[in-house]
């Protein structure tokens, strides 16, 4: 039973049931189109309208779409070149057994040399030798009908299917721990390498791995997220958050809010009402976006123009925090697990999350660097992004 269990575990597919169903359905549609269109185009002329290698090609193209064996040139070149080799062997070698061996062996050699290795190409070469009198009578026309015709129809079908699946996967692609906000700090375990690094690493491995660069990045992101969940476990936000939070109110002047951010070296300020309930948040990004509208030469000059109070009773620019703040604020209760905060930081690309108590009043601020220090260990200490000594 133990041996059976090990065998069953080794045979377990790493594809989801949904992915397997999609690849199977794609093959049904692709091969059906090849057979139907080819039959209507050449079947009436008593010509063979489909080759068996299309079945093998469908397995690769639909079930292993990221394999280098399924690249467009591999699929097209592998079939056509192998077909030419097979017809040549059938024509020039009289012994059928030797011709069969030479057809496959030389097809492999030719595909290697032309960088279009495609296993079903071997079948296309073999059929040219052992396919019978009807195939032999075609001569080199076999390369065009049915091989090239089948390749064209299946290739278009696969391309359309892949486009539809790619659009669907793009909408469902999980988060990647990349930094969009230049002011946000990367969590430990964030992507420490570039796509070029991954390409170089794959080139150094002398074996075939059926994954794309995007697959590797996705795997790394998922593994990192799982590691964070394992290390943080169910630890609540209140254990790590900063409790002495610097906050502002709706009517506070922009100059005062900016001074607080500079004084406490923080990147955002929660905006609260008199009951300490959250009504918004103002960030460095909000200041920069608003300042970009002014014609001054430097960012510092534009910021000074923005925060300087306008004399008189009317103004064409924002004067108080409430005019500049973002009202859509992501918050968490103080007993929420830190793993939930990690997911929000990664998905929404924000640097801080206000923490609320049971009465929905602001009681703390959690930053990416708070969690980063926790994950790195107790050696890290100092000032956090909310300006409070930990």
233 band by pLDDT with thresholds 50, 70 and 90: confident
In a domain, 285, yes or no: yes
**pLDDT computed for residue 172 by the predictor:** 52
**pLDDT computed for residue 380 by the predictor:** 47
Question: In terms of domains, do 227 and 269 share one?
Answer: no
Q: ∠ CA 254-260-265 to the nearest 5 degrees?
A: 125
- Of 187, 212, 232, the residue at which a domain comes to its end is 232
In a domain, 5, yes or no: no
Question: In terms of domains, do 202 and 96 share one?
Answer: no
Q: What single DSSP character describes residue 320?
A: B
Total domains, the chain: 3
Residues pairing with 271 in the sheet: 248, 280
Q: Is the pLDDT of residue 242 over 80?
A: yes
230 band by pLDDT with thresholds 50, 70 and 90: confident
What is the mean predicted confidence (pLDDT) over 299-315?
88
Domain span including residue 288 = 237-376
Percent of the chain with pLDDT over 70: 83
**pLDDT computed for residue 2 by the predictor:** 55
In a domain, 182, yes or no: no
Structure tokens at 319: 């004067």
CATH of the domain at 289: 3.10.580.10
Question: In terms of domains, do 152 and 248 share one?
Answer: no
Question: In terms of domains, do 89 and 70 share one?
Answer: yes
**pLDDT computed for residue 213 by the predictor:** 76
- Of 157, 172, 187, the residue at which a domain comes to its end is 172
Question: In terms of domains, do 168 and 19 share one?
Answer: yes
340-383 tens-digit pLDDT: 888 888 788 888 899 999 999 999 999 888 888 887 765 444 44
In a domain, 24, yes or no: yes
192-214 tens-digit pLDDT: 667 777 777 777 765 556 667 77
85-135 tens-digit pLDDT: 999 999 999 999 999 999 999 999 999 999 999 999 999 999 999 999 999
Q: Is the pLDDT of residue 385 over 60?
A: no
Assess whether the previous peptide bond of 146 is cis (omega < 30° from 0).
Answer: yes
What is the mean predicted confidence (pLDDT) over 229-245?
86
Q: Is the dihedral of CA 63, 67, 68, 71 positive or negative?
A: positive
**pLDDT computed for residue 316 by the predictor:** 86
Distance CA(159)–CA(58), nearest Å, equals 12
**pLDDT computed for residue 191 by the predictor:** 58
Specify the higher pLDDT residue, 230 or 244: 244
- Of 172, 187, 218, the residue at which a domain comes to its end is 172
In a domain, 184, yes or no: no
Distance CA(97)–CA(130), nearest Å, equals 9
Question: In terms of domains, do 227 and 244 share one?
Answer: no
What is the mean predicted confidence (pLDDT) over 296-325?
88
């Amino acid at each position: 039973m133990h041996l059976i269990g090990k065998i069953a575990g080794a045979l377990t597919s790493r594809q989801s049931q949904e992915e397997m169903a999609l690849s199977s359905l794609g093959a049904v549609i692709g091969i059906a189109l090849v057979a139907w269109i080819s039959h209507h185009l050449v079947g009436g002329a008593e010509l063979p309208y489909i080759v068996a290698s299309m079945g093998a090609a469908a397995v690769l193209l639909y079930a292993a779409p990221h394999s280098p064996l399924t690249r467009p040139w591999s699929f097209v070149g592998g079939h056509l070149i192998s077909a030419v080799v097979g017809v040549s062997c059938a024509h020039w070698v009289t012994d059928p057994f030797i011709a069969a061996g030479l057809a496959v062996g030389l097809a492999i050699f030719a595909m290697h040399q032309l960088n279009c290795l495609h296993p079903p190409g071997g079948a296309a070469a073999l059929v040219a030798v052992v396919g019978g009198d009807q195939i032999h009578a075609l001569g080199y026309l076999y390369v065009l009908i049915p091989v090239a015709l089948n390749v064209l129809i299946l290739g278009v079908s696969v391309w359309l299917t892949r486009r539809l699946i790619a659009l669907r996967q793009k909408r469902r692609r999980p988060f990647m721990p990349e930094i969009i906000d230049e002011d946000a700090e990367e969590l430990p375990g964030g992507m420490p390498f570039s796509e070029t690094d991954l390409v170089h690493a794959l080139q150094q491995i002398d074996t075939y791995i059926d994954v794309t660069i995007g697959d590797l990045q996705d795997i790394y992101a998922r593994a990192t997220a799982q590691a964070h969940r394992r290390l943080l476990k169910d630890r609540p936000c209140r254990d790590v958050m900063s409790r002495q939070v610097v906050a502002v109110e709706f009517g506070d002047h922009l100059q005062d809010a900016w001074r607080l951010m500079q004084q406490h070296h923080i990147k955002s300020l929660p905006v609260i009402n008199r009951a300490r309930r959250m009504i918004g948040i103002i960030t460095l990004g909000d200041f920069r976006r608003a300042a970009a509208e002014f014609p001054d030469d430097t960012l510092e000059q534009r910021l000074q123009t923005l925060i300087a109070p306008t004399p008189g009773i009317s103004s064409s620019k924002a004067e108080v925090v409430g005019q500049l703040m973002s009202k859509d604020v992501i918050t968490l209760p103080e007993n929420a697990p830190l793993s939930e905060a990690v997911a929000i930081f990664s998905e929404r690309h924000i640097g801080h999350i206000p923490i609320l108590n049971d009465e929905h009043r602001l009681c703390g601020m959690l930053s990416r660097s708070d969690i980063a220090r926790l994950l790195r260990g107790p050696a890290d200490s100092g000032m956090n992004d909310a300006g409070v000594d930990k």
